[in-house]
Structure 1
């Protein structure tokens, strides 16, 4: 009988340790050595059914594998899972047979077969510690050594003072004793081969470090953790707590991703410490470490690493510079003429490293990596290196466009164009070149130079060439198309593209991804230019809130989100509070902190801030008005100096900055200077824009308004008449054109030219009939709707082009029939 409140404690069952054979250990080591190549090349869906039939994996295993968000993530989960299957007979042989019999076409079978060859050709050597342990041993060497007595333990132990081990540059040049635990596999047994739990949530504020760290790369060793190591990474606990307490599924998913990111960053920080203090095994390069690869191939989560990197930069620690230097060291010793998997993996690693540092804003480091890559690739002249060089040059165009280095883009374009010609001259070369991204970058370059027609032609080609299985470039193409169609004032089609870009980004990447923010920013640009309504303000606020959650630190994308909201508030003239000024100021402050002095991108933020200041002056007291306008003038002059330097004096950007500065001067009652600036803007636009360009006509309308305000009615009438006669509204109501009609009619009436005023009144009525108000509102709900497949969207979008082509083909057929009869 058992008494109440009495518990029986059962003897815990002790599981017998799994005995692992030497062959299993060697096979596991083969998987580890080839892990990077397998993760990058393998698509698990081709072999999962075979592994299930062989009993190597079960339903629970497949569920864990399917939790991977990318093909590489799923492959990594499978590779990490296999070492725990040593209790299954022939588990490794079944894995190889699955690779030799994949459920795919010839190309898939070829790739899988090459993975089997990598595994078979991997030679596993016995650890050197084993040789030294058993070779040449005698009776005297087997005696236990004599140890001195341990010192007495103090009653009050000394507290170790943590130090910034990442900042000890002198350690790089000192010889440091390295304690390495070798032959760890034999000692730790099966514990080391159990895959890491990727789904386990690590404690956010835990700074505890193990005394030993497993450093993994092409080979693995246990290395002693540096003494007094203290992580400099600050964990955003409040941010994590908000995500954890949120009931939204998207917040839970982001929390899981950010937790893994934090764990990888801590590993990367620690390994960098070891590299700087010469604690890594001899010959071990930082860029070949597994954790570096895990970070660089985690492309969908690059943005989660940025806040930790910036956090380390505050302590004068720059991990990326160390990784880039390590990669350059590896590439300088590479022999591309031999080719092989090492060269291929090095190029992939280099491209991913470029993507990471460019997205982070380290364009100088991206240039260093690309220079090293191209120098190595230029040593070989075969098709594989040609293709790698072409991809590298297109990537070079991309991040130089991001950095507003347009002369550099032209140089990369010339090289890539020459290389494309070589590849296309090969009998099978035309099918190899992917021109989608190439045309996107050309379109971007042409638009920045103000050549909207050339940019339009290239973006049309890009949208046809971009591959449907490449959603990232689909988003890039759609966003660039929004800018091009907006520049051509094709409003309805620009709206269609802007909505499609946001919907496609959300469909493929979710609403917590930089590409989703990029699509939203392009929609905000379109909305502020043409829609100018309250839903546009709501979308801009949503964009800013999303950017704050996604990045968690100050980035150029967050600055652009502040700028987008400031513009949205300005165009709807929401001046009941100073929010528009706050967001414009925040955008400029962030941009100045993130970009070098006089960087060409700064002109965007200076333009928005100066515009906000001139509106603030109009709603300020007389005492503040003059000082506010002087500040706006200073910012506009700075912006004008930047664009004149980087875009040349005769350019669309320079002309638009002259217009803004002229508007500010007019509000400061500096009429002559304002008149001179607006005339200069018109002259510049006539030299670089078509004669019916709406940008040119809008500048003329601004100068005409200045003449009207300062009692120059005849000059105003001439300019207003030219604007309303030559404007092409493309069937859409434009408010500024309506205002021009009204000003023209009122000015003519003030001059007693009533007949001319009546004629323009009739012309206005006709214009309003032909260009009705387009008041369709686009809300957040519209932007979150599920899109149709991109190929179908493209067919519907180009319906007029198809119809025109059909008519032309029919006409050619008729002509050919007539010639045959004759």
Structure 2
């Protein structure tokens, strides 16, 4: 129905060469289909063949989602992408009342029977112009938008003027009404007493470490092209997070239509579908959390509500796919944000939801879910839970491989990488090394993010195995690959840098190690601009490099270790096993400080080092056991401290 209603616009504007490659890759269009399409004499003919061909693919192929994604990411320039964005909006905003979605999920009122039989009301088609040329549908839409903007301006002129601090003067707000889109779209009046907390935080508390105004000023003044690009992304993200904040307020005040779900809102979907921008939202979410506004928790609650409503309706394959895609997006976002426990809860709910269905088309989804669950538990240092997720994933691989096509569709590279990571953390170096090698051989070339993660894990296993030359090549390649595919302002690039820092500090130990660590720290500050575990790890890398080079004259090594521990304690729970990393570095720094201190402060500093070391030892004993490499590491450090204390 969406393609039929928007058929004229699609035929006029679409160029098949921009989307065919992706459709072939997704398995939606076959080689025979490509020949039929290319047989068209004009671009419009080719587009017409494609539009008519897609609906005949049947329900076993998710052709509509693939076509929509192809329109969002065409093989073309920015101008074409902007025009295709209009086509996607046309498709998304086509209101189709379906019994299992629109009416069943979002309305408590039973519509009269005769209303359900009426066709939607449309404006009459434009008349043919005198020169005989058809009018462009997109131009018609632009005229309609101009008319809407005119009405909005009239509404805004009647609103009160509100004070803002962006330019220090009075200005008219643009928030008289807000367009809220989900399964439906509707203009909603903005509450009169609504003021964005983000504007207050950014403008009045610009000295805050959460959202510093200085960050934007530095990006504006910089001549670096990467800074300019990040500035544009920051502006876009700020507008989106403000829209999300406003929609959340409307939902909390019950000003939205009955049945509206925040997680299905267009702004939430837009945020989730751009993983490369996830990190830019963190500083705003943290600032709002500091003001007792947890947008992420509201989205999770909405997700559970959607799950509950889906339990009441028939579970067709399309609804399961939509719900699963939403769940994976939400889990990925929470994982990047550091909400490992909450993300694991969402994943557990999703797996319970999927376990009630035994269709073949969700077997791969279950497998991906178990692998992701293992990833979450590894990051949360729940290795017993990770091993359970691994067993469940292996059972799914057996089921899939029993099918004739199973070997062709399953990819175990990520599973092997997660197993290697778990083995390394538990001290089983030889198995970790073997599984890491296998993961490197089996990883998919198309999944760029997985390649970076697999390379980083391999660096750690090769370092533990003392394969120094190979570890160095992998670490350097990981940085080069991340830079080429994601740019220098991406968390994956920072992750690769930190693993190169680890190698350099352990094996190179020269001035370049310190320069690399300082560069990683400055990169982390520009990427996140707020307290994150990655920033804490960057501070720790600088502290370790300074201590290795014995640059103890300025005590920067000590202050960096303090910053790392402060951030980690702020983000992680009290007994989180990852704290031992920062406690170990802090105790080492205190030991160095005591060694170069005068007699009056030496004993007190060593006692502080002992306290930090004992805390770290308690953590590793609790989570790794009495016999482990981590435990041995802490005993060795405490032994050094006690020797300096003559104990």
Name the TM-score class by shorter chain: 0.7 to 0.9
Q: Summarize the Cα distance change of 1:599–1:375 in structure 2 as closer, same or farther, 3 Å threshold.
A: same
8 Å CA contact 2:95–2:183 kept in 1: the answer is no
Q: Summarize the Cα distance change of 1:73–1:461 in structure 2 as closer, same or farther, 3 Å threshold.
A: farther
Q: Which of 547, 556, 564 is 2:524 aligned to?
A: 547
Q: Summarize the Cα distance change of 1:549–1:433 in structure 2 as closer, same or farther, 3 Å threshold.
A: same
Q: Give the TM-score, by structure 1 length.
A: 0.61
Q: Is 2:616 aligned against 1:636? A: no
* 1:208-219 alignment, distance < 5 Å: 208-219=173-184
TM-superposed deviation, 1:344: 1.0
Q: Summarize the Cα distance change of 1:83–1:659 in structure 2 as closer, same or farther, 3 Å threshold.
A: closer
8 Å CA contact 1:536–1:568 kept in 2: the answer is yes
What value does the CA root-mean-square deviation take over the aligned residues?
Answer: 3.9
Aligned residue in 1 for 2:359: 382
TM-superposed deviation, 1:364: 2.5
Give CA-to-partner distance per residue, 1:768-803, whole Å, 9 cap, x none: xxxxxxxxxxxxxxxxxxxxxxxxxxxxxxxxxxxx
User: How many equivalent pairs are there?
Assistant: 543
- Please state whether the residue corresponding to 1:54 is helix, strand or coil: helix
TM-superposed deviation, 1:333: 2.5
Give CA-to-partner distance per residue, 1:573-625, whole Å, 9 cap, x none: 11121110010110001000010001100000000110111011111111111
Aligned residue in 1 for 2:303: 327
TM-superposed deviation, 1:207: 9.2
- Please state whether the residue corresponding to 2:6 is helix, strand or coil: helix
TM-superposed deviation, 1:401: 1.2
- Please state whether the residue corresponding to 2:310 is helix, strand or coil: coil
TM-superposed deviation, 1:262: 0.6
8 Å CA contact 1:30–1:122 kept in 2: the answer is no
**Which has the larger displacement, 243-252 or 228-237?**
228-237
Give CA-to-partner distance per residue, 1:303-352, whole Å, 9 cap, x none: 00000000001101100111011111112232597433332122111101
Q: Which of 327, 331, 340 is 1:350 aligned to?
A: 327
**C-alpha distance in structure 1 between counterparts of 2:349 and 2:499, whole Å:** 34
**C-alpha distance in structure 1 between counterparts of 2:166 and 2:76, whole Å:** 26
**C-alpha distance in structure 2 between counterparts of 1:381 and 1:297, whole Å:** 28
Q: Which of 43, 47, 53 is 2:43 aligned to?
A: 53
Q: Give the TM-score, by structure 2 length.
A: 0.77
Q: Is 2:429 aligned against 1:424? A: no
Give CA-to-partner distance per residue, 1:667-693, whole Å, 9 cap, x none: 1100xxxxxxxxxxxxxxxxxxxxxxx
**C-alpha distance in structure 1 between counterparts of 2:485 and 2:399, whole Å:** 35
Q: Which of 426, 430, 438 is 1:449 aligned to?
A: 426
TM-superposed deviation, 1:186: 12
Aligned residue in 2 for 1:318: 294
**C-alpha distance in structure 2 between counterparts of 1:286 and 1:76, whole Å:** 27
Greater radius of gyration (CA)? 1
**C-alpha distance in structure 2 between counterparts of 1:443 and 1:593, whole Å:** 29
- Please state whether the residue corresponding to 2:268 is helix, strand or coil: helix
Aligned residue in 1 for 2:144: 189
Q: Summarize the Cα distance change of 1:72–1:407 in structure 2 as closer, same or farther, 3 Å threshold.
A: farther
**Which has the larger displacement, 367-376 or 492-501?**
367-376
8 Å CA contact 2:22–2:70 kept in 1: the answer is no
**C-alpha distance in structure 2 between counterparts of 1:549 and 1:67, whole Å:** 32
Q: Summarize the Cα distance change of 1:351–1:82 in structure 2 as closer, same or farther, 3 Å threshold.
A: closer
**C-alpha distance in structure 1 between counterparts of 2:7 and 2:184, whole Å:** 12
* 1:371-770 alignment, distance < 5 Å: 371-670=348-647
Q: Is 2:347 aligned against 1:370? A: yes
Give CA-to-partner distance per residue, 1:250-291, whole Å, 9 cap, x none: 111101111111111001000000111101111111100000
* 1:276-355 alignment, distance < 5 Å: 276-334=252-310, 338-355=315-332
TM-superposed deviation, 1:122: 7.9
**C-alpha distance in structure 2 between counterparts of 1:650 and 1:280, whole Å:** 57
* 1:14-413 alignment, distance < 5 Å: 27=6, 43=22, 53-54=43-44, 77-82=82-87, 189-191=144-146, 208-233=173-198, 234-235=201-202, 236-334=212-310, 338-413=315-390
**C-alpha distance in structure 1 between counterparts of 2:509 and 2:428, whole Å:** 26
8 Å CA contact 2:351–2:366 kept in 1: the answer is yes
**C-alpha distance in structure 1 between counterparts of 2:22 and 2:146, whole Å:** 28
Q: Summarize the Cα distance change of 1:250–1:353 in structure 2 as closer, same or farther, 3 Å threshold.
A: same
